Structure 1
Amino acid sequence: MSNLSIAARLDRLPIGAVHRKAAFIIGLGLFFELYDVYLSGVLGSVISDQFHISGSTQSLLLGSSFLGMFLGAIFLNRMADLIGRRKAFMVNLLIYSVFTFLCAFSPNVVLLVLFRFLAGVGIGAEAPLGDTYLSEVLPTYRRGKLMVWAYTLQFCSMPVEGLLARWIVPTQFGMAGWRWMFIIGSLGAVFAWALQQFLPESPRWLESVGRKPEAEEIMMRFERHADRSEEDILTSAAPTVPDPPQEKLPVSTLFVAQFRRRTILLWVFQILQTFGYYGFGTLVPLVLAAKGFDVHSSLTYTTLSFIGYPVGSLISLSIVERIQRKWLIVMAAFCMALFGILFGISNSIILIIIFGFLYTMVSNIFSNAYHIFQVEIYPTSIRATASGAGYSLSRLSSGLMPFVLLPLLQGSGATAMFSVVAIAMVIVMIDIGGFAPKTTARVLEELNQVPSSVATSTENHSITP
């Protein structure tokens, strides 16, 4: 099969044990990424009472890890394009685990905010890097579905975290219960870090940077563990794809004519989508507190609402390859705007749980679709950089979001807060519906052919790690 490029062979390859193992290991890493994202929100009211904080300090506590993720998503994902996906995975979870463990022993809110920021630097690259890796090793015809399985494992973290918080936070096991939540996150990330050492490097990335012998060796592992014979793999129906350039592309490729529009629409999307997705998950305990519910009750209702996250992810399994990705994002954004307002105006416990569940359910259909989409629209050698840059803006927006939504919640109530969220989601619908390319079931190399002028420029000005 030496006459075929690595990319073509990957796309013709049947799903095998290596693919399934990769989806599971990445999903486990993403589990702890999302665990961390919602940790400050779930513990927000408890930690505020512990350290007697409010106002801007409370917003800083909620936003500190997101600001760290902003930096991590930029620099660690750029590193992944230079030194490889596998090495970058090793770095980011190790940083996260160390500083999350230190969070558990923070004697004051200043150190807690600092450690949350540094832990965010580590975990910030995990999601876009996981998206990038899976998009590169999974064949086109099953790319969306297997990525959704990884996200479904990720989204199980939310109800698990809610249940743990409801059980552990009110207790004392040698120290305050909320501190054990950080220890659990740290030790879990160590386990995910250990498993990620067994991931093979992306053969697509190796080929794109000219390391063909290594790519060939790993590719043979994929083919040995496929579910069909080599002859079947050779004759498997798949479109012919162009050979990828074997040079590193400069960051400026994001702004050449072919990719400029994609970069702008992705950046606009990432800045605004956080208001809908993370605005609910991180602030819902505080929303319920503003509605008059005590800590124990708010954690119970939050946990019930969070069950919608894995349910929505499972639902997306059956539709992610049937509905064009961009329209799936648009439809889910509309439902998030609607259910958010209904949640905001509800005071009945039953309605709060119902609309909370529906909101989280559709938000994960939304999330699965955009995570797949964002890594489908760039070439391999800058894919991690591009998705990391876009994702970093969502982390920055998430870090600033409490300073916008929390004062609005405290001053004008939940309905006003969710009205602002709804406006953000309407702009997202226009952005994606009006300007995004169609990506479902398209070969990555065909969708992202690099203009010859960029390739020529790269040959003359090569970038080395």
Structure 2
Amino acid sequence: MQHSNAVNRLNRLPISRFHKITLLAVSFAYFFEFADINTFATTAPQLIDLWGITVDQIAYVTSLSFVGMFIGSVVASTLADRWGRKKALIHTTLCFGVFSLASAFSWDLVSLSVFRVLTSAGLSAMTVVAVIYVNEMYPAAVRGKFQAYAIVIGICGTPATNLIASAVVPLNDWSWRLVYLWGAVGILFVLFTRHLEESPRWHESRGEYDAAEAILTGIETRVAAEKGPLPEPAPPIDETRPAKASPRLLLRKRYLGPTLLLTVLWVTQTIGFFGYSSWAPTLLAKEGFSVEKSVFYVALTTVGAPLGSFLASLVTDRFERKWCLVAFGAVIALCGLLYGLTFNPVLIVVFGFLVNLFERGYTALGYAYSPELFDTRGRSLGTGVSYGLGRLSNAAGPLIIAALYHRTGYQSVFYFIAGTWLLGALILAVFGPRTRPARTAAAERPRAVV
């Protein structure tokens, strides 16, 4: 059977300039994804004063944004399989940049809500495609580390946006629009497109062996010119080319288990993380802190985010990813609870810093862990659907948080969020499969993992 042996040929490559340029491009996309994801949260306190919107209206806008994320994730899985990983990555990044630009020109809450839903769809779609792309382009032994490296660089977009917002939002009645213009800079991702290669594993999965061979040969030639002669790859394992994936594929036992597990992982991560990041500025302002101070305190806490991704890069390929996720989730729950139980500005910053540090490490670990539970055939669909369902869950999350805040107060919100993190850690500890052993061509075949 014809076979380009993409998995083994990529796995035996040393890290080279090709991998570093790819990392830079993906990191740029992540940077503006993280920069843009909290723009509404940082401008909402100002819009309360300017447009007279309420906490409940903020909850509805936030909820609709997560519906957009779900749609974007599911659509992304289809686009990545139909168009290819590279083309889908380009178009989804342009999507969120264009609609962030449109958000800067919104004239009322309804128009801003529409643009934010469309922006959120692009953000989530880009994330799904980027996770799959990194998984398929880097050697198995270091893909977790490079996934985390991309997040280390990309996550800097969060404190950058919060610090920019803390400086420009209070200036005057229109300066909040500059935050959305900043998020739109992601459009410049087009400058990287000529440096990216399509995933040869995607071509191979479609039976396009000549295209896969051409890309692999080009990559190997560049790497060999830089690093010297390459070792021989392990021999391929002949297998029937998989048929086109359909949504019904996820109902099979070998895919249903990991899809359900990852749905729980992303549901608890989504409600837990966005419960903090989306609501902290508004709730602090409601509890008596000025808009300037609430945004500034949250900006300081997000400085921990890049350090958390770096921490993940140190442990992701050294220890079992499942147990790293469990440990990080438990620490986030504890620090987040302490964050909600204090009104001391120093402690708010300290515990918020720790929440951001471990949560971003958790996300980097999750991005590496998720696609490893599927073979090439089910990777895009399983990753996209589980990630999308996680994001969709937070359509209800903001409404629950708003109801808790109104009925039982500020601190009850953080009891709820901490409980969410603990639930996710417990389920992952009991049902999560191990993935640390080196991935081989045989491991790429469909298998029941749960």
Q: TM-score per shorter chain, which class?
A: over 0.9
Correspondences of 1:45-444 after superposition (within 5 Å): 45-172=45-172, 176-186=174-184, 188-226=185-223, 232-235=229-232, 242-243=237-238, 245-247=240-242, 248-443=244-439
- Aligned counterparts of 1:243 and 1:432: Cα–Cα separation in 2: 33
Whether the 8 Å CA contact 1:16–1:227 is kept in 2: the answer is: no
* Secondary structure in 1 matching 2:394: helix
Partner of 1:463: none
Distance 1:123 1:216, change over 3 A: same
User: Over residues 157-179 of structure 1, what are the superposed CA-to-partner deviations in whole Å (9 max), with x where a residue is unaligned?
Assistant: 1110111001111124xx71110
Report deviation, 1:255.
Answer: 2.3
* Alpha-carbon distance in structure 2 between the residues aligned to 1:228 and 1:251: 43
Query: 2 CA distance for matches of 1:431 and 1:42?
Result: 33
Moved more, 116-125 or 351-360: 116-125
State the secondary structure of the residue aligned to 1:226. helix
SS in 2 for 1:323: coil
Q: Matched residue of 1:149: which SS?
A: helix
Is residue 27–residue 153 contact of structure 2 (8 Å, CA) maintained in 1?
yes
CA contact (8 A) 1:265 1:435 kept: yes
Q: Is the CA contact (8 Å cut-off) linking 2:263 and 2:386 kept in structure 1?
A: yes
Cα shift at 1:364: 1.3
SS at match of 2:374: coil
CA RMSD of aligned residues (A): 2.1
**Which stretch shows the higher mean deviation, 242-251 or 109-118?**
242-251
Answer whether contact 1:159 1:304 (CA < 8 A) is retained: yes
Aligned pair in 2 of structure 1 residues 157, 243: CA closer, same or farther (>3 Å)? farther
Instruction: Provide TM-score, normalisation by structure 1.
Output: 0.91
Deviations 1:240-267 (A, max 9, x none): 6635643333333322222221111111
Gaps of 5+ in 1: 453-465
Give the C-alpha shift of residue 227 in structure 1. 6.0
Contact 1:104 1:180 in 2 (8 A): yes
Higher mean Cα deviation, 227-236 or 324-333? 227-236
Q: CA-to-partner distance for each residue in 1:107-161, whole Å, 9 max, x for gaps? A: 1111111111122222221111101000001001111111111011111011101
TM-score (norm 2): 0.94
Q: Which one-letter code corresponds to 1:317 in the other structure?
A: S
Misfit runs of 4+, over 3 Å: 227-232, 239-245, 444-448
Larger displacement relative to structure 2 (439-448 or 12-21): 439-448
Find the residue that maps to 2:170 and give its secondary structure.
coil
How much has 1:417 moved relative to structure 2? 0.9
Distance in 2, Cα, partners of 1:90 & 1:397:
27
- Relative to structure 1, the CA distance from residue 3 to residue 242 in structure 2 (aligned partners, 3 Å threshold; closer, same or farther) is closer
CA distance in 2, matches of 1:100, 1:143: 30
Q: For residues 100 and 367 of structure 1, do their structure 2 counterparts lie closer, same or farther at Cα, with a shift above 3 Å needed?
A: same
CA apart distance, 1:319: 1.2
- Give distance in 2, aligned partners of 1:355 and 1:73: 31
CA deviation after TM superposition for structure 1 residue 444, in Å: 5.9
Structure 2 counterpart of 1:455: none
Distance apart, 1:347 and its partner CA: 1.2
Query: How far apart are the structure 2 equivalents of 1:157 and 1:171?
Result: 21
Aligned length: 446
Deviation at 1:441, TM superposition (A): 4.4
Counterpart contact for 1:377–1:448, Cα < 8 Å: no
Output one character per residue of 1:301-354: Cα deviation in whole Å (capped at 9) or x when no partner. Answer: 111100010111112221111110000100000001100110010111111111
In the alignment, is residue 32 of structure 1 matched against residue 32 of structure 2?
Answer: yes
Q: 1:27 to 1:75 in 2, by over 3 A?
A: same
Give the CA deviation at 1:21.
Answer: 1.1
In 1, the alpha carbon distance for the partners of 2:238 and 2:158 equals: 41
Q: Structure 2: how far apart are the matches of 1:440 and 1:74?
A: 27
Moved more, 93-102 or 109-118: 93-102
Supply the distance in 2 between the matched residues of 1:244 and 1:93 (Cα, whole angstroms).
Answer: 34
1:420 deviation in Å?
Answer: 0.9
Q: Is the 8 A contact 2:56 2:402 kept in 1?
A: no
**Partners of 1:13 and 1:312 in 2: CA distance:** 28
1:224 CA displacement: 2.0
| 2-structure distance, mates of 1:250, 1:107 | 41
| Counterparts in 2 of 1:243 and 1:329: CA distance versus 1, 3 Å | farther
In structure 2, C-alpha distance between the alignment counterparts of 1:242 and 1:178, rounded to whole Å: 56
Unaligned runs of 5+ in 2: none
How far does residue 398 in structure 1 lie from its aligned partner after superposition? 2.4
